[in-house]
Amino acid sequence: MNQLSQTLERFGGVYLLPVFVALVAFVLIGAPSSWVTLTVAGLAMGMMIFLMASGLSLIFGLMDVLNFGHSAFISFGAFISASALAYMSGWLGSAHIGLNLLAIFLAFSAALAFGLVAGWFFEVVIIKPVYHDHLRQILITMGALIVSEQIILAVWGGSPITVQRPAFLEGSWLFGNVTVEIYRAFAFVLGLAVYIALFLVLKRTRIGLLIRAGVENREMVEALGFRIDRLFVGVFMVGSALAALGGAMWAGYETLITPALGGEMMIVVFIVVIIGGLGSVEGTLLGAIMVGLMANYIGFLAPKLALASNMLLMMAILLWRPSGLKPAVK
């Protein structure tokens, strides 16, 4: 038994969990083509959720700040990108792939830019006065969430909005009898690229070193001569921008968005960071992939259970590992 667990650890430990889930699902689903479609969908969903959740996790890890208003960035990202795409609808339909790409690049950039600016505002104006006071932090960020949702309602109205996609991301690829939606593949690749970039920054740069050290022991980093609070503003901005990007990608994935989107995603994002372990980017990725896969597999196998599946997953994992699968070392 001990030997088995050691072998498992060598081959990746908890990182094997998604693989295990995928294998079990393969047996239960039976049809390989459906399984591939579901797995791709799950991975794409997982990467988008990862983008939304990674900032929240890092922000909490670094400063002990839990931003209940985080989902506002997701919503705003989705709506801003949808509006930008609608504005450029001429380019979206164009047969010229360059214009297609430019349109989606500009739309996502708009979401990112908004995330950076709003993140700065949030950190400096809303959260800074209530560092170290969890109760007021929860209340204030919750208040900010209420206000943000109302602003979205005031600007975009309450009815669902259709999101246009660029022509080159429409449709799907056929491999034999396996269909893969192009947008899902795109979402997965883009999400993966962001993860790799984030990973390299955290592992290879001095800023990344400071962030990782700060997550573990903020005080000690300060005693070594660094100002964590200045670093934190930057992390907060980037984390918010990533959430907005995740929201923008999610809008294209869903193609129909409502102002309720932020609230729905917030629950998922919370579950992901709890499962993954707060403060760790790897843990967040793991949690997001797990949630994405489970949602798709269970949605196929037992649709009635689909919405509760995340919750059950969270409870099971909390019972097994109370601080999450891969928490930051504290």
Contacting range for other proteins; rule: CB under 8 A; set: 113-121, 124-132, 172-180, 182-190: 124-132
In 10 A of CB 282, how many CB atoms? 17
Tokens of 12: 């990746």
Amino acid at 62: L
Cα 243 from Cα 292, distance rounded (Å): 16
Judge contact between 284 and 271, C-beta under 8 A: no
Judge contact between 76 and 247, C-beta under 8 A: yes
**Residue 50 within binding range of other proteins, rule CB under 8 A:** no
Which of 138, 185 has the CB closer to other proteins?
A: 138
Which of 99, 272 has the CB closer to other proteins?
A: 272
Nearest to 80 by CA among 261, 241, 248: 248
Q: How many CA atoms lie within 13 A of 177 on its CB side?
A: 5
**Residue 328 within binding range of other proteins, rule CB under 8 A:** yes
* Binding-site size, other proteins (CB under 8 A): 61
Nearest to 325 by CA among 28, 12, 7, 40: 12
Pick the binder of other proteins from 209, 234, 254, 301 (CB under 8 A): 209
Which of 40, 268 has the CB closer to other proteins?
A: 268
Q: What are phi and psi of 208, to 5 degrees?
A: -60, -40
**Residue 66 within binding range of other proteins, rule CB under 8 A:** yes
Shortest distance, position 266 Cβ to other proteins, whole Å: 8
Q: Which residues contact 6 (CB under 8 A, 6 or more apart)?
A: none
Pick the binder of other proteins from 4, 90, 304, 320 (CB under 8 A): 304
Judge contact between 121 and 141, C-beta under 8 A: no
**Residue 329 within binding range of other proteins, rule CB under 8 A:** yes
**Residue 313 within binding range of other proteins, rule CB under 8 A:** no
Contacting range for other proteins; rule: CB under 8 A; set: 26-34, 93-101, 127-135, 170-178: 127-135
**Residue 128 within binding range of other proteins, rule CB under 8 A:** no
**Residue 201 within binding range of other proteins, rule CB under 8 A:** no
**Residue 200 within binding range of other proteins, rule CB under 8 A:** no
Pick the binder of other proteins from 10, 27, 319, 320 (CB under 8 A): 319
Q: How far is CA 238 from CA 6, 102, 189, in A?
A: 37, 22, 20
**Residue 196 within binding range of other proteins, rule CB under 8 A:** no
Judge contact between 85 and 161, C-beta under 8 A: no
Query: 112, exposed or middle or buried, with CB in 10 Å at 0-12, 13-18, 19+?
Result: buried
Pick the binder of other proteins from 224, 256, 302, 316 (CB under 8 A): 224
Residues binding other proteins (CB under 8 A): 60, 66, 68, 126, 129-130, 134-136, 138-140, 142-144, 146-147, 149-151, 153-155, 158, 206, 209-210, 212-213, 215-217, 219-227, 263, 266-267, 270-271, 273-274, 304, 307-308, 310-311, 314-315, 318-319, 322, 328-330
